[in-house]
Amino acid sequence: MKVLVTGAAGFIGHHVTRRLAETGRCEVLGIDTLDAYYDPALKRARVDRLAGLEDFRFVQADCADAEKFPALVAHWRPDYVVHLAAQPGVRHSMTHAPAYTRSNLEGFATVLEACRRTPPRHLVFASSSSVYGAGAVAPFREDAVTDQPVSYYGATKKANELMAHSYALNHGLHITGLRFFSVYGPWGRPDMAPTLFASAIRAGRPLPLYNAGRNRRDFTYVDDIVDGVVKVLLYPPAVPPRPPLRLYNLGHNRPVETLLFVRMLEELLGRKAEVELLPPQPGEMLETGADLTRIQAEVGFTPRVPLEEGLRRFVEWFQGYYPPEAG
């Protein structure tokens, strides 16, 4: 079977691509723009890890290109599509909204239209816990009201779910959206909390913690996320819902305060953090937590990697990939 993965050089995308290509059941085509939102060298290093896999090919392309991307899909005719390409970052979206409009809205519109013209068996796309927004009470359930996102990033992800509903309803596309919760692990983005925190601790730099470190996050190890993506992708329901759209939380269901997260990193790195406790940041949620009742019942997903083990694996990778700063 053929699987197209957008955002294949990204953090989650490269792990999903590797898992699929290693099954021996999938021919995987990965696409990515390799843009400079963060160091493209990390993205190229991820692609290099995939290059030796027999069932993997990579094309540098932009899924927001309304002419070239549908033509690529029509030429390759994938059986399954995993759409993980996006402009990430909650705080960044507060000051760089146009980038999110193009990547997250125009990009997803192009993916949907390409799938309408050349329908796959199943399209799975990345949503986010950021859709829950103001007024949400953890643990978040998929049927909770999600019309008050507190960031523009969250607004684009909510819009993606509505766009998917429209295409599922009107064109019969089989689509599943996955609301990811605070994904971490090896090969993570440098702008995400684990790498930012670990870098500051190791270098002895001040580490700002907003809301005095009391924000609670449902940190979910990337291998668990990949397990969920692959299960959902390859085993759609025998009788799809009407319209054929499903939404699932994909998290760990064990929120922890960011200050505790930092303390755990301190122990693994063998250094104390110079913590600066600051007020809450605009656009940030105070707590996230995934209710997994629906995905456990319908898909059989259960996270397996505890935070203690996941952080140990992350730190092992971090220390190997990033050399200590000089001085």
153 is an active site residue: yes
27: in domain: yes
Could you tell me whether strands 216-217 and 256-257 are parallel, antiparallel, or unpaired per DSSP bridges?
antiparallel
324: in domain: no
Could you tell me whether strands 245-250 and 175-180 are parallel, antiparallel, or unpaired per DSSP bridges?
parallel
Single out the catalytic residue among 132, 152, 153, 248: 153
Number of H helices, E strands in the chain: 12, 13
297: in domain: no
pLDDT at 240: 84
pLDDT at 235: 86
Per-residue exposure over 94-111, b if at least 16 CB sit within 10 Å of its own CB, e if not:
beeeebbbebbbbbbbbb
**Cis peptide leading into 243, omega within 30 of 0?**
yes
pLDDT at 230: 97
The model's pLDDT over 77-111, given as tens digits with 9 standing for 90+, comes to: 999 999 999 999 998 999 999 999 999 999 999 99
pLDDT at residue 326 greater than cutoff 60 = no
The model's pLDDT over 306-323, given as tens digits with 9 standing for 90+, comes to: 999 999 999 999 999 998
pLDDT at residue 42 greater than cutoff 70 = yes
| Average of per-residue pLDDT values in the chain | 96
286 versus 294: the higher-pLDDT residue is 294
Q: What does the alpha-carbon distance between residue 145 and residue 142 come to, in Å, rounded to a whole number? A: 8
- Spatial contact of 115 and 164, defined as CB atoms under 8 Å apart: no
The model's pLDDT over 193-240, given as tens digits with 9 standing for 90+, comes to: 999 999 999 999 999 999 999 999 999 999 999 999 999 999 888 888
15: in domain: yes
pLDDT at 282: 81
Q: What single-letter amino acid sits at 20?
A: L
Q: What global pTM score does this model have?
A: 0.96
CA neighbours closer than 13 Å in the CB half-sphere of residue 226: 22
Determine the structural domain holding residue 104 and report its residue range: 2-184+220-250
101: in domain: yes
258: in domain: no
At 160, which CATH number? 3.40.50.720
Number of domains in the chain: 1
- Spatial contact of 154 and 223, defined as CB atoms under 8 Å apart: no
**Phi/psi of residue 66, nearest 5 degrees:** -70, -10
Q: What is the DSSP string of 4-18?
A: EEETTTSHHHHHHHH
43: in domain: yes
301: in domain: no
